[in-house]
A and B are shown apart, each in its own frame.
Chain A
Amino acid sequence: MEIKSDYSTTGNLRKTLLMMIPMLLLTFLFISGGKPDFSNKVNVFAFLLTFLFFNWLFFMILFTGKTNRYRKTGFIVLALFFSFTFILNLIQMRGSMTFSDNNLLSCEIPFCHIVSTMVIIPAVVTKTIIFPGRINEGFASISSMLVIITGISVAVGRGFCSWGCFYGGWDDGCSGILAKPLIKKVNPVFKWMPFAVLLIVALSAAVTLSPTYCMWLCPFKTITEYQKVTNLEVLFQTIIFLILFAGLVLVLPILTKKRIQCATFCPMGALLSFTNKVNIFGLGIDKDKCNNCLNCTKVCPTFSITAKDVEKGKSDFTCTKCGKCIDACSKKAIHYHIKGTPVNKNHSLNRILFLMPSFTLLLIFTGRPLLNGIELIIKLITTGSLI
């Protein structure tokens, strides 16, 4: 059934403002956490700045019709402010970014979404949670993160990798530094590497009953927390994660203009790709409009559109729904699409229906870190100290 109403907000101020109403309410709710703290000027200023920032982003996405440009801004802010506030939080609690054996034994390690790839099999088979974190209390508990990830998978599938992941903004940001790539050809076969990483870490974690990816491979320990170097093995692990961070998250994304860590290494991305299969949102290509220029295949940061996919009229199941190909398509042939509906109809409605949950996701993960980060920066300026 075709819905006759025109939901297009591009260039239409009245419709854009109308569509903004739910987001204004959601921004207020998620930034304040339901309990707005206006006890002092700093809090009010930080709240207003965060509130305006998100609503400006959403307004621009709707009004200009450009998705990726403004999503990316919010996504980079998420990555930077998450790391900034996380590290400061650790320094306040522990005095440094490192954790000790005591922290491990007392289960004080925050649970990140990537660990989900390793805890499921041991939890089912041995009824053991192999990660040294809190089950259902405190900061970033295991149960809350698993529930959030499951909900996100249902809502936006692998869209999480471009709208909610608090690490993805690092290589997304680095991939946009150069105007043109210095390494022009990257073999797209590497997009299957995360599935191999997923296979190996899930199995090795199940057999050794330890989070092997966190111990050996996670590049993001560089900007979160890492084990105190007390022996040769930990030193070796530290060298590995520093090299991986420098290579996969900083240098290669800059040189290739691709999200190398997300596209070729992250096991969570591989796991979420499967959720794309059941998620209702995808990217559809209107073959009547497409002139086969294949610009979309060149700009896709995760190798998720190939010439074959263009022929099929949809992106591959590894798509992170960032919207870069949509912005880049000169013929406006690529659209957010609800599976099972015609590709050439209801573009604007489908876009709005996708943007609402995905932008809310960005808001949920970015809101508090940005608010806290702004408060800390004001504190630094006014008192000269962050702690």
Chain B
Amino acid sequence: MGYYDGILLGLSTGSVCLAYCGPVLIPYMLGENNTISRNYLDVSLFLAGRLAAYIAIGFITGVLGKFLLQPSPLSSMITGISYIVLSLLLILYGFYQFKEVCLGRSKSRMDSASGKNKTILVPLTGGILTGLNICPPFVLAIAKAAALHNITKSTVFFILFFAGTSVFFIPLPFLGFFKRQQVLRTIGKFAAILSGVVYLYKGIMITFN
């Protein structure tokens, strides 16, 4: 398992992240009616928040992986089974409209309701909270990072996972894609199903080899 897997997982599920958690930032940007450069600043702050959350999660996962999941036939079986379970979750996620735990979304709603969204803290905290979003790609990333059994590697894995998902946020400031947002969600769901199938195969191979 290499670092590349972090980028692959991030890139292949990034559209899902954008489609489901992007709306945290988008209403804010639309509401502010900012310039493109200001929107880029907001997106950067949002991503900085997500990066902070991912580094924290990567570190914690690495600690757990190092001390609780030492390499052994049992641990590789656990990894394989967790791949299978999480891949099935990813497939289900694609097929059904899950009401996922997306803390950032409620934060955004709260802010827009109270009108307190004038500072840089809004996109930053939005980024941190969506970074902690418990969605199947994120859980799958945790499983993979834990299997590295190394704190540094796990943290780097999450940074690369972050980099992969962040690619999809680059065009966000232009806002032109909103017309097709539903389409993006649909493509994301299909991609999640396909990713799920790939990881299911990997899980089966790890478990039974």
Query: Could you tell me which A residues sit within 8 Å of B by CB distance?
Result: 189, 192-193, 195-197, 199-200, 203-204, 207
Contacts and interface: CB of A to CB of B under 8 A. Distances in A.
A120 to B, nearest CB: 15
A200 B186 contact: no
Contact of B11 (A189, A196, A197, A203): A203
Interface string B130-156: 000000000000000000000000000
A199 B187 CA distance: 9
A192 B11 contact: no
A193 B190 CA distance: 6
Contacts of A207: 4-5, 7-8
Given A204-B198, A207-B7, A199 B183 contact: no
B108 interface: no
A195 B187 contact: yes
A200 B194 contact: yes
A62 to B, nearest CB: 37
Nearest to A270: B187
Interface string B173-209: 0000000000100111111011100100000000000
Contact of B187 (A196, A203, A204): A196
Given A203-B12, A204-B198, A196 B7 contact: no
A197 B186 contact: no
B183 A196 contact: no
Chain A interface main SS type: helix
Given A189-B186, A204-B198, A196 B191 contact: yes
Contacts of B5: 207
A100 to B, nearest CB: 24
B15 interface: yes
15 contacts: A189-B186, A192-B183, A192-B186, A196-B189, A196-B190, A197-B190, A199-B12, A199-B191, A200-B191, A200-B198, A203-B8, A203-B11, A204-B8, A204-B198, A207-B5
B8 to A, nearest CB: 4
Contacts of A204: 8, 12, 198
B15 A199 contact: yes
B106 to A, nearest CB: 28
A334 B198 CA distance: 42
B15 to A, nearest CB: 7
A203 B194 CA distance: 12
Contacts of A189: 186
A200 B190 CA distance: 10
Contacts of B195: 200
Q: Sorted from nearest, which 10 A-B pairs have the closest CB atoms? A: A196-B190, A196-B191, A207-B8, A200-B194, A192-B186, A195-B187, A203-B11, A207-B4, A193-B190, A192-B187
B194 A197 contact: yes
A195 B185 CA distance: 12
Interface string B42-71: 000000000000000000000000000000
A197 B195 CA distance: 10
A204 B12 CA distance: 8
Contacts of A196: 187-191, 193-194
B187 A200 contact: no
Contacts of A197: 190, 194
A199 B9 CA distance: 12
Given A196-B188, A197-B194, 18 more contacts: A189-B186, A192-B190, A195-B187, A195-B190, A196-B187, A196-B190, A196-B191, A196-B193, A197-B190, A199-B15, A199-B191, A200-B12, A200-B194, A200-B195, A200-B198, A203-B11, A204-B8, A207-B4
A232 to B, nearest CB: 10
Contacts of B198: 200, 204
B178 to A, nearest CB: 16
Interface string B76-93: 000000000000000000
A86 B7 CA distance: 38
A44 to B, nearest CB: 51
Contacts of A193: 190
A182 B54 CA distance: 50
Nearest to B11: A203
A197 B8 CA distance: 14
Interface in B1-18: 4-5, 7-8, 11-12, 15
Contacts of B11: 203
A326 B187 CA distance: 29
Please indicate which of the listed interface residues B7, B15, B194 has the most CB atoms of chain A within 10 Å of its own CB: B194
A207 B12 CA distance: 11
A247 to B, nearest CB: 15
